[in-house]
Amino acid sequence: GAVVSQHPSWVICKSGTSVKIECRSLDFQATTMFWYRQFPKQSLMLMATSNEGSKATYEQGVEKDKFLINHASLTLSTLTVTSAHPEDSSFYICSASQAGGHNEQFFGPGTRLTVL
Amino acid sequence: AQTVTQSQPEMSVQEAETVTLSCTYDTSESDYYLFWYKQPPSRQMILVIRQEAYKQQNATENRFSVNFQKAAKSFSLKISDSQLGDAAMYFCAYRIPLTGANSKLTFGKGITLSVRP
């Protein structure tokens, strides 16, 4: 089956620093990747949709300058949290989809970000 | 706008028993997909079952089956012979079948299922 990886799985950083999270589709080419944020015991909140080679489309209320998304290849998308603050602490999940078939989204294992 | 509603925040089931998780949705589309995802404590999202709206037959995957009522916009998940490993958070989700891969998932709030041994 389709496998999506995320790196790192867990990161702790100091307030004011930037953190980059990678999302890779390991055995398929991901035309589209999605980034979600999830707080404990809550649902997934879509942050942005990125297509390979294009600018990401951000959901309403998501700061594009704070959450930089790059989808430079068909197997890699990155989310950079710039000038992180404690309120950015959360669980970040990516998913990847390829055109055709059911256009199913395959989810990565998530990255836990803690900002001190 | 499409919405997905899971009104029960928590449910509990005895091991080996059957449990039904409820989900309703609102859409003006006639063709769409519905999903149930499982998120165990590891937090890895796992697709449990998929239903295509144009198919009248309810989807089934081993111990998991759905009751899809299109007119009522209801999509419930039945778990038979519940196992301890079924304990997780379950999310109902909706997606329209756009051409290409851009179609977004809309998730419900989720329900936490516990399984009593």
Residue numbers in B near A30 (CB within 8 A)? 101
Across chain B, mean pLDDT equals 93
Residue predicted with more confidence, B106 or A72: B106
Cβ(A69)–Cβ(A52) below 8 Å: no
B33 lies within 8 A of chain A by CB: yes
Ordered DSSP codes for B39-94? E-TT---EEEEEEETT--SPPEETTEEEEEETTTTEEEEEE-S--GGG-EEEEEEE
Residue B45 sits at the chain A interface (C-beta within 8 Å)? yes
Tokens of A30: 């991901």
Residue B100: pLDDT band by 50, 70, 90 thresholds? low
Which pLDDT belongs to residue A31?
Answer: 86
pLDDT at B101 over 80: no
Sign for the CA dihedral angle at B67, B46, A78, A101 comes to negative
Whether the predicted pLDDT of B102 surpasses 70? no
Chain A: residues touching B (Cβ < 8 Å): 30-32, 34, 38, 41-44, 46, 49, 51, 91, 93, 95, 97-99, 102-105, 107, 109-110
Contact (Cβ atoms closer than 8 angstroms) between residue A34 and residue A62: no
Give the total residue count for chain B.
117
Closest chain B C-alpha to A103 CA, distance in angstroms:
5
pLDDT given at position B98:
65
- pLDDT at position A102, please? 66
**For the segment A72-113, what is each residue's pLDDT rounded down to a tens digit?**
898 999 999 999 999 999 999 999 987 666 668 899 999 999
Q: Which of B32, B94, B103 is most worth mutating to test chain A (most A CB atoms within 10 A of its CB)?
A: B103
Most confident range, picked from B12-26, B50-64, B85-99: B12-26
Distance CA B1, CA B6 (A): 17
Q: Is B72 exposed, middle or buried (0-12, 13-18, 19+ CB in 10 A)?
A: exposed
- Asked whether the beta carbons of A90 and A19 are under 8 A apart, the reply is no
pLDDT digits (tens, 9 = 90+) for A8-63: 999 999 999 999 999 999 998 888 999 999 999 999 999 999 988 888 999 999 99
* CA nearest neighbour of B86 among B9, B17, B4: B17
Quick check: B17 pLDDT over 70? yes
Asked if A90 and A81 count as a contact pair (C-beta separation under 8 A), the reply is no
Query: What's the rounded Cα separation, in Å, for the pair A85 and B19?
Result: 41
Contact B39/B89 with Cβ under 8 angstroms? yes
From the list A98, A52, A59, the residue with the least C-alpha distance to A78 is A52
